[in-house]
Structure formats: C-alpha cells, structure tokens
Amino acid sequence: MVKSTITRRLTPTMKNYELTIAPKQKWHLVSLKELWRYRELFFILSWRDIKVRYKQTFLGIIWVIFQPLATTGIFTIFFGRLANIPSGNLPYELFVFIGLVFWIFFSASVTAASNSMVENVNIIKKVYFPREILPISAIITSFVDFAIAFLVVLIVTFYFGFVPSPTIFIYLPIVILIIFLTSSGIGLFLASFNVRYRDVRYILPFFIQSMLFLTPVIYPSAVVRDSFRPILAFNPMTGVIETMRIVLSGSGRVDLGVLFISSVFSLIVFVIGLTYFRVTERFFADIA
C-alpha cells in the first residue's frame, strides 16, 4: 500500500495533525462514513442542478408533470384507443401514466448520472472528494422531480375513483430503492465509460428508448407468454411498475416473486456498476 503523510502546523494553539492519503482497498466498494462526511456536497450539487435545469424556462417546474401527461395523451390515443392494448382494471390513461412516471424517474436518473462526470470535469481535476457523489447527486435531483410527479399520480388516481392500498407505505420505499440501485449501477458504469469514450452520448438515447419497449409501461406483463415472464422480471423496472399499479389501484395481490427477482437483479447491477467505477476512477483526472 502506498502512503503519503503530510504534517502541517496550523496555529500555535493547535496541535500538529497528520493527513494520510492512501489508496482504497480493492474490495472496499463504498465508504458510507466518507459519504456522510461529504453530505453537504450532495445538497449543494443537487440544488445547483435543480436551479440550472429550470433556469430561464417559461413553465419552470411544470415541465416535471408536462412530459408524462403529454406522453400519456399520445400513448392513450395510439396504444389505448387504436391498438386497444388491455390495461386490466385500470383505465388506460391511468395505467400508462403510472408506468411513465416511474419510467421517467429511472431514465432521467440514468441519463443524468451517465453525464455527471463529463459535465463536472473541472471540479474532478481540481478538488478531491468521493467521485461517486456526482452520479448519485444527479439521481437525487431526479428524485425531486419524481416526488412532485408522484403527487400528481395520487391526484389522478383519486380522480378515477381508485383508493391506494395502505401497503403503499411498504412497497413505495422498496420500489424507490430498486430504482435507485438500478439507475446508480447503470449510471456509475456509463459515467466511467463516458470519461474515456464519448460514444455514450449516442448509445444512451438508443438504450433508453429500447428499454422503454422492453418494460411493461404501455402494456401489461400479462400479455407476455408465461415462458418469457421470468426473463421480463430480470428487468428491475418490471417489478417496480407492476407493483405500483396494483398498490395504487388498491386491488389485486403484488407478485412477490417478480418483485424479489427485480430486487436481486437491481443489487447485482449496482455492484457491477460500482465495481467498474472503482476500478477506473483513478484515471478520471488524467483522461477527462
């Protein structure tokens, strides 16, 4: 292990102190203690991103709900009315709106996290801090947008005459954790890859668009053949969206098997993304 020791004298009234800078152990994926020490940086970066995002926009924060509402209208016309895709016991408008709000949270988190390292290259080169703060703070910013949009989901749910199940207080934190782990894992991986190869900016929109149609946002998983459903469950967003539709409608039983598979796979994605980030982060300042 390479260690360097810096000893400085602050003031006559203060004792000498030692600052030891040492490489992290390879098996040490994340230091919660260190992240907690930099907790104020999370707030500063997230607040900065929120202000920049809506600066000089006419509608401001209304864009958070405009996108899912407008997309819901388009999908309802083409997939609900013309294609007549089934939506179970929910009106198709509510069915697709619930799916879109959670999907947009996921896709916005992945996109923001993937670009976070490149967009903050000047900070990376000048100041030390845990690099994973940048992708994670970008996801926190997306979570603020999601929280506002989810309130609108509740209003629309009540408007259509549905009362969410009390289990929403159990399942909502679980699905948010699944989205956080999945988007963090993919975001950390792509953020690292993006530092070296800027192809990510071209691959990412295609990836997000493809995943939308591989996720039961505009269709229920019930229309998929039984033999393909376990494969569909490997997509963590399948368990998230299917679970929240059941919980928000207040009827039916949550498929715990699908939710469990989605949870495990989201954890695997997170570990893989964080491991790749750890391996490559020491080169960020040199090649960014």
The pLDDT assigned to 202 comes to 85
pLDDT for res 273 = 92
The per-residue pLDDT for range 211-258, each reduced to its tens digit, is 888 899 999 888 888 777 777 878 899 999 999 999 998 888 888 988
* Tokens standing for residue 278: 């750890």
Mean pLDDT of the chain: 84
Going by pLDDT thresholds of 50, 70 and 90, the confidence category of residue 7 is: very low
Q: How confident is the model at residue 22 (pLDDT cuts 50, 70, 90)?
A: low
**Which pTM was predicted?**
0.84
Q: Which pLDDT score, from 0 to 100, does residue 20 have?
A: 60
Going by C-alpha positions, the residue among 265, 194, 255, 196 that lies closest to residue 220 is: 255
- Residue 83 phi/psi, 5-degree rounding, is -85, -15
Q: Which of 94-98, 205-209, 256-260 has the highest mean pLDDT?
A: 94-98
Inter-residue long-range contacts of 156-161, CB under 8 Å, 24+ positions, other chains counted: 156/94, 156/97, 157/94, 157/98, 157/248, 157/249, 160/90, 160/91, 160/93, 160/94
Determine the pLDDT at residue 6: 44
Residue 243: what pLDDT? 93
Q: For residues 283 and 155, which has the higher predicted lDDT (pLDDT)?
A: 155
51 pLDDT higher than 80: no
